[in-house]
Amino acid sequence: MAGWERLLVELAARGINYDYVMTERPRHAVSLAREASPGYDIIAAVGGDGTVNEVASGILLAGEPRTALGVIPLGTGNDLAQLVGLRTPADAVEALVSGTSRMMDAIEVRCRDAGTEATRYALLYAAVGFAGELLKRTTPAVKRFFGPRYCYSVGFFRALLSFRTTSMRVRCDDREFCGAMFLVSAGNAEIVGAGAMRLSPGARADDGQLNVNVVQQLGRWEAGLAESCWANSGLFHSERNWACISKKFE
């Protein structure tokens, strides 16, 4: 029995009343959650971190403080579920039944989308630069073939072949960086990428702070070394890498 069918059986067995809607396209869960927030106490994302982020964004954009986010891990990475101790769908159902909850920070991202000012939200991390290319190259086929443990590492090296650095200006606290950037990220959690990358050592999801990494232009060899560091200690020591803890950066 597939994970979705097992979940429906478990929900029925525990007497949980629910409605569900299937997403049909990227960012569909944002609009679904935003529209549903006024009428529900809990809106649960069933899937991986991408689905969780979309549902969380919809709830936050709706501005309904009483609506809680539920997380049922049925995706590739499930990093956020792991962060809050939900290792299986059964754990998530138990949390729904018992009313177990915890507070966590959200990252507000202000950007431009097709020339229009937009607000987005993230829970684990927000990034520009190489991270976008990595996610693009970690295709559904790569996820199926290599599985959650290795798919993002494979995507990393696939992305190295096509990525071109972008010139940016980054300000964090009293420091400013200008030039070609490999990666700029703000982390709310230590580990991302299906548990494969410790990108923000020391980050906590409830301390009101962002762990910021600014990684200036890297060659392919040095980028490969960075990936090895992030996959192990999380500490990439280089004169091209700078880190800080802050409430805001731009």
pLDDT in tens, 136-172: 998 889 888 888 778 888 888 898 888 888 898 888 8
Domain for residue 116, yes or no? no
Q: Percentage of the chain with pLDDT > 70?
A: 92
Confidence of residue 214 (pLDDT cuts 50, 70, 90): confident
Q: Are residues 160 and 91 in the same domain?
A: no
**What is residue 91's predicted lDDT score, i.e. its pLDDT?**
93
Rounded CA gap, 43 and 210, in Å? 26
118 within domain boundaries: no
- List phi, psi (to 5°) of 188: -110, -5
- pLDDT, residue 62, reads 94
Q: Is residue 119 part of a domain?
A: no
| Domain around 36 | 3-102
H helical segments located in the chain: 3-13, 28-36, 49-62, 79-83, 89-98, 130-137, 140-160, 220-231
Q: What is the pLDDT of residue 231?
A: 64
Based on the fold, state whether residues 78 and 7 are members of the same structural domain: yes
Distance CA 234, CA 220 (A): 18
**Residue 237: is its pLDDT beyond 70?**
no
Position with higher pLDDT, 232 vs 122: 122
Evaluate whether residue 42 is within a structural domain: yes
How many structural domains does the chain have? 2
The answer to the question of residue 113 being in a domain is no
Question: What is the mean pLDDT of the segment spanning 85-112?
Answer: 90
The answer to whether position 9 is within a domain reads: yes
CATH assignment at residue 50: 3.40.50.10330
| b/e 171-199 (16+ beta carbons within 10 angstroms → b) | ebeeeeeeeebbbbbbbbbbbbbbebbbb
**Same-domain pairing of 185 and 136:** yes
Select from 68, 102, 136 the last residue of a domain.
102
Residues 148 and 68 in one domain: no
Band (235; pLDDT cuts 50, 70, 90): low
Mean pLDDT value across residues 83-110: 91
Q: Give 241 or 206, the one with higher predicted confidence.
A: 206
Q: What tokens appear for 179 in the block?
A: 């030039």
Q: If we measure between CA atoms, which residue out of 54, 11, 4, 7 comes closest to residue 33?
A: 54
Q: What is the per-residue pLDDT for 69?
A: 96
Cα–chain center distance at 153: 16
**CATH number for the domain including 239?**
2.60.200.40
> Same domain, yes or no, for 85 and 154?
no
Shared domain for 153 and 210, answered yes or no, is: yes
Instruction: Give the domain-ending residue among 69, 102, 135.
Output: 102
- Residues 227-231, mean pLDDT to the nearest whole number: 67
HEC readout, 71-138: EEECCCCCHHHHHCCCCCHHHHHHHHHHCCCCCCCCEEEEEEECCEEEEEEECCEEEEEHHHHHHHHC
pLDDT at residue 245, as a whole number: 77
Same domain membership, residue 232 and residue 153: yes
Same domain, 96 and 153: no
pLDDT at position 33, please?
96
- 110 belongs to a structural domain: no
Confidence of residue 211 (pLDDT cuts 50, 70, 90): confident
Residues 236 and 178 in one domain: yes
Q: What is the pLDDT of residue 228?
A: 67
Query: Which among 102, 135, 150 is the end of a domain?
Result: 102
Domain identity same for 153 and 227: yes
| One domain, residues 137 and 97 | no
* Averaged pLDDT of the chain: 86
pLDDT at 70: 95
Q: Residue 141: how many CB atoms within 10 A of its CB?
A: 9
Tell me: do 96 and 138 sit in the same domain: no
Largest CA distance in the chain: 57
What CA dihedral angle connects 201, 202, 206 and 209, to 10 degrees?
Answer: -90
Residue 187 lies in a domain: yes
Which pLDDT belongs to residue 34?
Answer: 96
- How far is Cα 28 from Cα 55, in angstroms, rounded to an integer? 9
